[in-house]
């Protein structure tokens, strides 16, 4: 079991649905990340939150909306997704947003868009 | 040219073999180097983390960094079937934005 917990583990949704992915960590980490991973590819960074503020948005379409309600929680709100958005969505955290602090990943949410 | 190059494999070895996984990189700003192991349908698990040239050992795993050659390696001794997974190298500079290799699929056979 990882120390970064993601729910749900699986999600199937239609293109008109609205859903949210959740991520929680209790390691006191102050940086949290969302990644997207397609099959047989490495993770691709989507967003970085540093001390609960959005610090990096890797030009992600607006149908993905991140939220950091507090230092332990990270959400990713989904709306009007496309079939190509089907992927494994990974959350990660690190002690700080500086490179010397390694990132720890959750097991992801496997998302399928019908 | 990609910033990080990693042979995708698959790499198949018999149980008990020594495995060598490698990545090369081109960005001199990279200072921190990580190896992650990812099992099917799981997230990447941090195996090794290092920031200086030289070797770092943890049980059956040894991470090696050669900054002058821009080359990093992960050695697995006495490989086990449970080591079968995809191994991702990752690296970053002073900011925490990771650059990953493509991952190497490893299969350890009985």
Closest listed residue to residue B55, CA positions, set B42, B65, B47, B45: B65
pLDDT in tens, A33-63: 999 999 999 999 999 999 999 999 999 999 9
**pLDDT tier at B9 (50, 70, 90 boundaries)?**
confident
The reported pLDDT for the residue numbered B1 is 78
Residues of A with CB under 8 A from a CB of B: 2, 4, 6, 31, 33, 40-43, 45, 48, 56, 90, 94, 96-108, 110
Contact indicator for B2, B98 with CB cutoff of 8 Å? no
Closest listed residue to residue A80, CA positions, set A46, A113, A45: A113
pLDDT in tens, A69-78: 999 999 999 9
Quick check: A48 and B94 CB within 8 A?
no
For residue A1, pLDDT beyond 60: no
Contact indicator for A19, A25 with CB cutoff of 8 Å? no
**Residue for token digits 């099959």?**
A39
Considering only CB atoms, which chain A residues are within 8 Å of B93?
A: 99
Distance CA A63, CA A78 (A): 6
pLDDT in tens, B50-105: 998 899 999 999 999 999 999 999 999 999 999 999 999 999 998 889 999 999 99
Q: Please name the residues in contact with B69: beta carbons below 8 A apart, sequence gap of 6 or more.
A: none
Contact indicator for A41, B86 with CB cutoff of 8 Å? no
């Amino acid at each position: 079991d990882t120390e970064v917990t993601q729910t749900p583990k699986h999600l199937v949704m239609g293109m008109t649905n609205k859903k949210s992915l959740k991520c929680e960590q209790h390691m006191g980490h102050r940086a949290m990340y969302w990644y997207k991973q397609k099959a047989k590819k490495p993770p691709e960074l989507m967003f970085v939150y540093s001390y609960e503020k959005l610090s990096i948005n890797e030009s992600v379409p607006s149908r993905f909306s991140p939220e950091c309600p507090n230092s332990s929680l990270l959400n990713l709100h989904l709306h009007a997704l496309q079939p190509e958005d089907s992927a494994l969505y990974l959350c990660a955290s690190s002690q700080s947003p500086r490179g010397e602090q390694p990132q720890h990943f959750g097991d992801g949410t496997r998302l399928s868009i019908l | 040219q990609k910033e990080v190059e990693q042979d995708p494999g698959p790499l198949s070895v018999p149980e008990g073999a020594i495995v060598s996984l490698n990545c090369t990189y081109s960005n001199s700003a990279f200072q921190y180097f990580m190896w992650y192991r990812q099992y099917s349908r799981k997230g990447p698990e941090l195996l090794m983390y290092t920031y200086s040239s030289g070797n770092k050992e943890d049980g059956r795993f040894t991470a090696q960094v050669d900054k002058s050659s821009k080359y990093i390696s992960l050695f697995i001794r006495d490989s086990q079937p449970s080591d079968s997974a995809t191994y991702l190298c990752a690296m970053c500079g002073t900011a925490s934005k990771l650059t990953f290799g493509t991952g190497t699929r490893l299969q350890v056979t009985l």
